[in-house]
Structure 1
Amino acid sequence: ARGGAGAMEARGVRQVVVVGAGLAGLGAVQRLRGTDSGSVRLLEAASHPGGRVRTRPFGLAEMGAHWIHGPSPGNPVFCLATRYGLLGPEAAREENQRAEAGGHPSLPSITYGSSGRALSPQAVREAHDLFDTLLASARDFRGAEKPPAPSVGQYVRTEITRRVPLAILATCLKLECCISGTHSMDLVALEPFGEYISLPGLDCTFPGGYSRLPERMLSTLPEGTVLLNKAVRTIQWQGSFREEGDNARDYPVRVECEDGDTFLADHVIVTVPLGFLKERHQDFFQPPLPERKAEAIRRLGFGTNNKIFLEFEQPFWEPQQQLIEVVWENESPLEKPSTDLKANWFKKLIGFVVLQPPEHGHVLCGFIAGKESEYMETLSDAEVLSTMTHVLQSAPTGNPLLPTPRSMLRSQWHSTPYTRGSYSYVAVGSSGDDIDILAQPLPEDPKDPRPLQLLFAGEATHRTFYSTTHGALLSGWREAERLNQLLEPSRGSEGQK
């Protein structure tokens, strides 16, 4: 073996490789017990840890994960961040932890129509309340043999039976697309929609940036455990691989990296995003994954939610405003949206969050999901900046002389080769069972003499917390504990603190 695999060898010690240094991978390595120094390697394709957690110094722009959803004692990300001292005093307040926010950030907001006029707060509130009521009722069909519609989007539309501000409801659906990580709520299955669990607590951010969490987690690991810029090409399993010059020990798994380095292992924890698996699983695993797991990967949904950050010399918004919502006044959720992405991609934008605190700069963060979001990635920075300037001149301000933002930054998660999107959802035609199938280790035969060769973690493998950082972290802990029980069955649950 080349490039450091020999350094992993410790005769008689189980060798573990973890693929992906997001919260699932970092959490798994932190929790693994009974492994000597040098027996665990964490391989990360990017030049930084964190996976879909990435803070950039652009007014502390969160390119990926933005909030801790449900920051309360039941949220492991909140607990870990609190332990590391990474959160502000507001997050520690008990009343904030007890608040039921339903996973939606609660921000002081103002809503503008596309003509530039501020919409009636009462009309906006009534439309949002109606939409929230419909969405809550959509969660009641969990376990229903015959739900009234296949998707959340179709159900919501059929329930809109009286005249309401339809354009605002269209914006609500777009916002839910961002939250669910999908192009359309018509793609999100209705029956399993209620399986997702929202934790209590008012969503909060990291004052120093979300990336401080994976950086702190990385700092707790022995030096040399994590190898960055180490993209994996293939994982060969069910094999019999040996180190050069050592015929006394063979390994069932061989991990080959794109730079030619190889690592032999008894167990590999795979934490790569579902979007990557959808695109690459056929050639990433040799032999290929069992058909049952391949079908689960195909059926589950994985969409794109991007952000566009705009920095201004001076704010044009009021100091108390934290969310500027944009409503395209001629739209209706009852009509099919335009498929002309070139002409209308920006209309999928739901508005802008004002980044806090302002001493980091006067920055707005726009959210956009789906195919429009993916189309945005194909445009030049100048094209996106020009379009955003036009949107802001017409909608929130009605001021055609509003200065162009001084700078722009955007995420491009669909184009990122080892991610290929943002996060997972349970699509029409799939169910929570597919999440469990994706999480099932291989080989499938529990009597296989070489068990747990491949283990699977990541947000898409958590049945009730999919799409979240806390789901990712819990999944990494889950697979580490699975290995702990195999490697040290006599120790039980000791050492989990």
Structure 2
Amino acid sequence: MATPHDLFDTLLASARAFCGSKEPPAPSVGQYLRTEIARRVPALGRGEEDAQRLQLAALATCFKLECCISGTHSMDLVALEPFGEYVSLPGLDCTFPGGYSGLPDHMLSALPEGSVLLNKAVRTIWWQGSFREEGDEARDFPIRVECEDGDTFLADHVIVTVPLGFLKERHQDFFQPPLPKRKAEAIRRLGFGTNNKIFLEFEQPFWEPQQQLLEVVWEDESPLEEPSANLEANWFKKLTGFVVLQPHGHVLCGFIAGEESEYMETLSDAEVLSTMTRVLRTLTGNPRLPAPRSVLRSRWHSASYTRGSYSYVAVGSSGDDIDVLAQPLPEDPKDPRPLQLLFPGEATHRTFYSTTHGALLSGWREAERLNQLFKAPGPAPQL
């Protein structure tokens, strides 16, 4: 008999197969999965109810993990037809030895000193204008970037790398004139959700040395039933489990997505630590399990320049919206001042959205647009 994980993986693979379908069987991945689960986990005979209940409970955990991967509150929000466009990059996850800052630090090392300014929050990007430096009437620029501290910068081209969550909340006043309707609609339709990590540090590990994962399954849950809407009482139940962080050996990393994750951000460290201690004591059956000595968690939704973690293709949107979001402005390719605004970012990569490599590749894509614009015409080919 297939395990719940095997069944869920099989159903996910079949969900991806509807890519390009004119009439997918359901609007969302969640609805499709639930219909298939109800069909494949039929009512069992007397004496087998417990086995069915546990199978459904494990499948509920699979749903939560997929919410973390997709960066969504519910798989009911993720569109079924374009789901298969996403491509998983082969190979293992890459962990930077000195932390994530190693990636931008490496990039910055190639730039002249002083060329990157920090703590310069931007209030408004004025484009399609005619702006001049004071005292220089000979040259005008189409763009003026106005910072919250009052400083301004004039430019021919601006690469806008803010997350989709920020654009959803601020694009109407962040760009002047406002973005064209087509791009504004793509921003509205695409999905953007929250996936947070909770790190717990222990004096001593309470798990086996070879253990890599502690999965959380709540026996009273089922993907075929509506989860509790009481965030205060049940937010921790959205937790999928904990990964043992190597080589530390005494740190667990938990994952939690959606509205429960956003609620977690409003709690104090002490409240999160206390709840995680209670969850782990329940999970292990050990009421005297020592509490973690420290907790650290991300707060992607609360951060005003992100407002969440990463994008997904929501019901009502498609990969075409990703392409529209990626298109530079002005829209007219014959505009005498092209490529004023360029839009890289994970939400602008049609097959690698939600990933760091998608963000990186989209940045190279926009840099290449400018390279092509500035490229001097080469010598005429020899006939």
Q: Could you tell me the TM-score, scaled by structure 2's length?
A: 0.94
1:487 and 1:453 map into 2 onto residues whose CA distance is 13
Provide the alpha-carbon RMSD of the alignment. Answer: 1.3
Distance 2:370 2:96 in 1: 32
Shift, 1:365, TM fit = 0.6
Residues 108-131 of structure 1 deviation map (CA, whole Å, 9 limit, x = unaligned): xxxxxxxxxxxxxxx8x7110100
Q: Which residue of 2 aligns with 1:9?
A: none
Candidates 266, 270, 273, aligned match of 1:385? 273
In structure 2, the residue matched to 1:143 is: 20
Q: Which amino acid aligns with 1:318?
A: E
Residue from 226, 232, 241 that aligns with 2:116? 226
Given the alignment of the two structures, is residue 129 of structure 1 paired with residue 17 of structure 2, yes or no?
A: no
Deviation at 1:221?
1.2
Q: Tell me the CA shift for residue 441 of structure 1.
A: 0.6
Q: Match of 1:362?
A: 250
> What are the within-5 Å matches in structure 2 for residues 88-487 of structure 1?
126-160=3-37, 161-163=39-41, 164=52, 165-358=55-248, 362-395=250-283, 397-487=284-374
Partners in 2 of 1:409 and 1:491 — Cα distance? 55
The amino acid across from 1:293 in the alignment is K
Give per-residue Cα distances to partners, 1:25-64, cap 9 Å, x unaligned: xxxxxxxxxxxxxxxxxxxxxxxxxxxxxxxxxxxxxxxx
Give 1:374's aligned amino acid: E
| Equivalent residue number for residue 46 of structure 1 | none
Aligned pair count? 366
The alpha carbon displacement at 1:187 in A equals 0.3
Distance in 2 separating the partners of 1:130 and 1:301: 26
Mapped to 1, the partners of 2:225 and 2:164 lie a distance apart of: 31
Letter in 1 for 2:360: L
* 1:404 to partner: Cα distance: 1.1
Rounded to whole Å, the distance in 1 between the matches of 2:6 and 2:40 is: 14
Provide the C-alpha distance between the structure 2 equivalents of 1:402 and 1:136, rounded to a whole number of angstroms. Answer: 39
- Quote the Cα distance in structure 2 between the aligned partners of 1:269 and 1:203: 28
Deviation at 1:259, TM superposition (A): 1.0
Separation in 2, partners of 1:143, 1:289: 29
Higher relative contact order structure (alpha carbons within 8 Å, sequence separation ≥ 6):
1
Give the Cα–Cα distance (whole angstroms) in 1 for the partners of residues 320 and 376 of structure 2. 28
TM-superposition CA deviations, 1:155-190 (whole Å, max 9, x none): 000011233500001000000000000000000000
Gaps of 5+ in 1: 1-122, 493-497
In 1, Cα distance between the equivalents of 2:321 and 2:5? Answer: 32
* Structure 1 ranges of 4+ moved more than 4 A: none
Partner of 1:27: none
Separation in structure 2 between the aligned mates of residue 126 and residue 411 of structure 1, nearest angstrom:
32
User: What SS is found at the alignment partner of 1:490?
Assistant: coil
Report the TM-score when normalising by structure 1.
0.72
Query: Share of identical aligned residues, percent?
Result: 85
Shift of 1:209: 2.3
Q: Please state whether the residue corresponding to 2:144 is helix, strand or coil.
A: strand
* Alpha-carbon distance in structure 2 between the residues aligned to 1:329 and 1:289: 48
- Distance in structure 2 (CA, Å) of the matches to 1:349 and 1:425: 20
Q: 1:491, CA displacement in angstroms?
A: 5.9
Which residue type is aligned with residue 281 of structure 1? H
- Partners in 1 of 2:232 and 2:154 — Cα distance? 48
CA displacement at 1:489 relative to structure 2: 4.7
Structure 2 distance, partners of 1:390, 1:317, is: 16
In the alignment, the residues of structure 1 paired with residue 304 and residue 168 of structure 2 have an alpha-carbon distance, to the nearest angstrom, of 12
Deviation at 1:210, TM superposition (A): 2.7
Q: CA deviation at 1:207?
A: 3.1
AA matched with 1:200 = P
Distance in 2 (alpha carbons) for counterparts of 1:209 and 1:491: 43
SS at 2:113's partner residue?
Answer: coil
Comparing 138-147 with 199-208, greater Cα deviation is found at 199-208
